[in-house]
Each structure stands twice: as structure tokens, then as C-alpha cells.
Amino acid sequence: MNIKFDQNNVVIKLCISGMIMEDGGNVEGATKMFHQAWHEATKEKEENAFIK
């Protein structure tokens, strides 16, 4: 499976930041990033996060 993501998408950026924080052991910071990403996704109705 080869899925490409829009690297300029704010939700994608927040999720990547969260994954980096989580990988570095900052679970609390990661959780905040994921919650912010969720908020942005629902606010903006992110339907075009994937490049087709």
C-alpha cells in the first residue's frame, strides 16, 4: 500500500509532532498534540488529508 500525505496539512503536522514526542517519551505532550489534531480535523472536516 502506497499512501501519500499532504505534508502541509495542519492535522498531519500535529500528528507527526505527536508521534515524535511519543517516541521521545513525552506522552503528555504527545497527547496534547493528538487532541489538537482531533480538534482541527473536526473543526475543518479534514477530508483531503490524503493526496489522491
Q: Could you state, in order of their start, the residue ranges of all structural domains in the chain?
A: 4-51
Determine contact, residues 32/10, Cβ cutoff 8 Å: no
pLDDT value at 24 more than 80? yes
As a whole number of angstroms, the distance between CA 52 and CA 50 comes to 6
- What local confidence, expressed as pLDDT, does residue 49 receive? 59
- What local confidence, expressed as pLDDT, does residue 44 receive? 63
